[in-house]
Amino acid sequence: MPALLVPNTNTKLDDQQRRAHLVARHAPVIVSACKSEGEREAAVRALLQLVSVPATRTCLVLMNGAERAAEAILALC
C-alpha cells in the first residue's frame, strides 16, 4: 500500500527520518518533510505516481480508494 511518511525531525532520541528512509527502501512510500505547500504538493503527486504504477507483489485483499484519497489530499494543498 503506497504511503506518505512525514517524519518528526524535532525529536532527540528517535530518528524518524532515518527510519522512514529505511522503510522506503522496502516499501512503496514517499518520505517528505511537507513543510511548505510546494513540498506537500510534490509529495502527494509522487504518491499518486506510486498509486498508478502496477504493484509488483500480489495482495490477498483487494484494495481500492487509494487514488481517490490521494486526489482528495492533493485538492487540500
* Model pLDDT for residues 7-66, shown as the tens digit of each residue: 998 988 889 999 999 999 888 899 999 999 999 999 999 999 988 876 565 555 455 677
Rounded to 5 degrees, what angle do the CA atoms 16, 21, 23 make? 95
Q: Give the count of beta carbons closer than 10 Å to the beta carbon of residue 57.
A: 5
Query: 20 lies in which domain range?
Result: 3-76
Cα separation, 16 vs 18, whole angstroms:
5
| pTM as predicted | 0.65
Name the domain count of the chain.
Answer: 1
Strand intervals (E) in 20-60: 29-31
The helix (run of H) or strand (run of E) holding residue 75 is helix 66-76
